[in-house]
A and B are shown apart, each in its own frame.
Chain A
Amino acid sequence: MTRKYIALPQGVSEKDFDAAINNFRKVLSDDAVLTSAEQLAPYIKTMMPVPDADHTPSAALLATTVEQIQKIVAICNQYKVPIWMISTGKNLGYGSAAPAERGQVVLDLKRMNRILEVDKDLAFALVEPGVTYQQLYDYIKEHKLGLWLSMPAPSAIAGPVGNTLDRGVGYTPYGEHFLFACGMEVVLANGEVLRTGMGSMPNSNTWQVFKWGYGPYLDGIFTQSNYGIVTKFGFWLMPEPPAFKPFVIQYQHEEDIVEIVETIRPLRISGVIPNAVVIAHALYEAPVKAKRSDYVSGPGSIPDEAVYRIMKDHKLGIWNVYAALYGTQEQIDVNWKIVTQAFGQSGKAKILTEQEAAEDPAFVYRAKLMRGEMTLTEFSLYNWRGGGGSMWFAPVSQARGSETLKQMALTKQILAKYGLDYSGEFIVGMRDMHHIVDVLYDKTDPEQTKAAYQCFDELLTEFSARGYGTYRVNTAFMDKVAETYGPVQRKVHKTLKKALDPNGILAPGKSGIR
């Protein structure tokens, strides 16, 4: 047992760790090397159904410059100390700010929060990892740049670097965030600084406008990975459209998901609906308006009868399709006609415009997200059941109605087996759907916590058995998901790791890579 630290990195003696900490203090100021329990406690809380002790860091480092990070990796190599990098650390439901393995040192880049450039004409930004969406949003407003952000639901408190590197999504036409990434600066494990794409060429002014550079495209290997520390990040911003028309379409039966997806797909692929459409189940939207305990108590998943009462009481569909049109008023008028005709054919859809749904808090927050406005309303999910347990189950499906129905039915069936509710939505990509399910459980209840773990494990097992891959997962299940993609991919990941980080100091365990 260590006397000085709340945890130690695996295989590192207290004496060696002491030496590493002393060296970190020489590189950073004393107040930027956190080792006390009180300082580290805010890094420990996770929503996963595993003991927080499994993810307790040994220290946290608050770096402010690239040069400091270069020195930090040198110390880590010397003492074989692993670091876990976070930008703003808001990976809620995926592991939060806590490291993948007990004893890793958190390298917290929140103080590297400079907005380095925002180009109004070319509509791009270059930022450091600690920049939040709120910070960038305020900057754009203050300078009247006429640009829109795309952000995930934790909007204001999260940041574009961390979200994009974990391949998160948003809700505007730029919602597939990595698709709009352009140029990274990366500190490698050996301390060298790589600028990807055109950034490698001295005096180039095309780093944030041309993604590919020359030779193999490298940016991808620094996402969902542990091959480097991204210290600068470029991405494209959306010019503010002259007009914007958000709307919601409600359906009353779960099987209607087939019709919804078959209707949306051609509209999405042809660009009539340009943004990442959300098809949210009633139980995903209900927490904005109600609490689970208002309808049911006791064990077991919520019965359909209670879901129907929630729908009736709070004017929700079982499926609620949120989308928007962007462009000039003339473009929107034309596209609106196409949309209403397409959805109106079967007579099942209830189409509501912004005027008709303006008082609905669920619509209000969805509309904000679709125009890149800050809102944290989706956090209401955490009050649905309470207890602080949440894991995002995130399988990918084809944008085909039959597939989505199969995925929903299988998810509901497995959740019900463990007494958990289906709080799910589909986010429609270009040709795929991100099926996003918040597995909510009460972490204060040991039995439910155990059930949630088993449930999540079964979801991964059953989905992968049917060829449904998970695109992102929390730190407790990274190895399991990596396994589902087969041995060859794991071997390639490992080969790259060995080549780029032979001492394994950068975030061991991230995406199952060591």
Chain B
Amino acid sequence: MDETRRNLIKGMLTGGTLLALGIPGITQAASTTSTLSDNARNCHLLLGNTPIGEAFATGARTACAHYGHSGQNTLATFQLGDELLISPQHIADLLARSHNMRWVAVMDYAHAAIFTELVRNADGRLLALGSHASASNADAALSLRHRWTTASPAYSAGGLLASTLVQNGRSFSIVENFLKTPFPEAGLTEALLPQFSSYGLADQPATHLHCAGLPAPEASQLVGWETSASWDLWVSSPAAAFVENPLLGNWIEATGYAVVAAALGTGIHQQACAQRAFVHRPGNRNLDHDGLAGKQFVSFVIDV
């Protein structure tokens, strides 16, 4: 394991409790990614023409500095204008010329709709697709919403993002749907996020809910899951230490940090399950700490 990562995760709780209960755990290290693909070593950043690009890139570079492998502690960055709306062929060519490359891309919804199509046309592999939004109105139940469709938990960024956002006192929901679920014998180790109580569904053990500051049924409702579901408490607010995250300026930087850390194969706070959610509502609510209310964007991690 990379020494930097080892240092960063030291202090995290590694409870055997969950495995003993037969409950899939959360990985704290790169157990499923100990052999990094060439693509993870050849990661690039594609910034769409969106105002959040620079903040995302700041977080991305921070992740790269912390988790980058030898020869990958900076991110080559490509800045897009409005090419996708005017001449998508330019980006199609860029993807076609990419070999064994991992792209982290961030853009608005208009560009994302086109980019998704170009990725499929290029026979690209979509590892993670995230939608990220901050509420624009003060009445919102939670100030931040993140939803990911992720090929497998090995590319999951949600846990790491939760650990950074909770430190900043933001209310948020993070939902991750995994297309392929590793089976328990995948050899995942486990860790817990402090403050979060962890729940599972008795009839759907691959669905996990982690919530802090609100009860499971309410958290379940806020992420759009079955409200009548019966949640079994697995672990209640463990006294674990956080992963030592670097100081990040705002939620967009935190998202960039988490997405790129996952893209680099850091494997922190990952969990063998089909879907999971983190919901956090601090006692002292502050919807817009950083003047970024109403911002939204889409993130991609792709291999070509």
Contacts and interface: CB of A to CB of B under 8 A. Distances in A.
A41 B85 contact: no
B12 interface: no
B147 A42 contact: no
A42 B127 CA distance: 9
B179 A37 contact: yes
A443 B131 contact: yes
Contacts of B133: 386-387, 442, 444-445
A6 B179 contact: yes
Contacts of B85: 375-377, 379-380
A298 B294 contact: no
B6 interface: no
Contact of B179 (A40, A90, A383, A450): A40
A388 B129 CA distance: 12
User: Main SS of chain B's interface residues?
Assistant: mixed
Contact of B117 (A56, A90, A287, A449): A90
Interface string A1-28: 1010010000000000000000000000
Interface string A379-395: 11111001110000000
Interface string A192-214: 00000000000000000000000
A297 B140 CA distance: 11
B65 to A, nearest CB: 27
Nearest to B298: A388
A376 B84 contact: yes
| B123, B147, B152: most-surrounded residue (chain A CB, <10 A) | B123
Band of interface residues on B: 35 or more
A38 interface: yes
Contacts of B120: 42-43, 89, 97
A358 interface: no
A68 interface: no
A402 interface: no
Contact of B109 (A52, A387, A445): A387
Interface in A350-395: 375-377, 379-383, 386-388
Given A387-B296, A446-B222, A44 B179 contact: yes
Contact of A89 (B89, B117, B146, B223): B117
Nearest to B121: A110
Nearest to B222: A446
B145 interface: yes
A92 B145 contact: no
Contacts of B298: 388
Q: Enumerate the 10 nearest inter-chain pairs by beta-carbon distance, A residue then B residue, closest first.
A: A446-B224, A41-B126, A38-B125, A42-B120, A37-B180, A37-B179, A298-B137, A37-B151, A297-B136, A382-B109
Interface of B: 84-86, 88-89, 108-114, 116-121, 123-127, 129, 131-133, 136-137, 139, 145-147, 149, 151-152, 177-181, 183, 222-224, 294, 296, 298, 303
